[in-house]
Amino acid sequence: MKEKKAILICFSVKSGKFESYSERNKFFKKLYGWKQVIRKEIRLGKKEKSYVYKREGLLDEIPHLKVDQSSFIVPEDEFERIVGFLKEWHDKVIWRTFKVLLDEDLEDLIEEEV
């Protein structure tokens, strides 16, 4: 069975270090992306129309497998991009990394996520 090297990243936010909930949400939006919903009222009949936009985060650009809310696996060759992002938040987020080997089934799952 062929195996591929990957990295498991687990992180935790230090909520008290963020200046506001807005700044904390900014971290999560930049990492995971988010769904923007814009509602517009249509004057005739006062109906409401919704427009939904997917705003991409870093993990939308990187093949990954989400393990839990604050844990995910990325291919080893994408590791530096994730570390660069986490270093921007170094005083507000702590993280650990673990080397893992993925079998072909999990490797296929990561490729399908993107």
Better-scored residue on pLDDT, 29 or 105: 29
Query: In whole angstroms, what is the distance from residue 72 CA to residue 113 CA?
Result: 12
pLDDT, tens digit (0-9, with 9 covering 90-100), for 44-72 = 667 888 899 999 999 999 999 999 989 99
Beta partners for residue 17, in sequence order: none
Residue-range domains of the chain with CATH: 3-113 (3.30.70)
pLDDT, tens digit (0-9, with 9 covering 90-100), for 21-36 = 999 999 999 999 999 9
Q: Is the pLDDT of residue 92 over 60?
A: yes
The full DSSP string for 15-43 is GGGSSSHHHHHHHHHHHH-EEEEEEEEET
- The pLDDT value recorded for residue 113 is 54
pTM, to two decimals: 0.80
pLDDT, tens digit (0-9, with 9 covering 90-100), for 78-90 = 999 999 999 999 9
Helices (H), the chain: 21-32, 58-61, 79-88, 104-113
Question: Which of the four pLDDT bands, split at 50, 70 and 90, describes residue 10?
Answer: very high
Query: In whole angstroms, what is the distance from residue 104 CA to residue 114 CA?
Result: 17
Residue type, 53: Y
- 2 three-class SS: coil
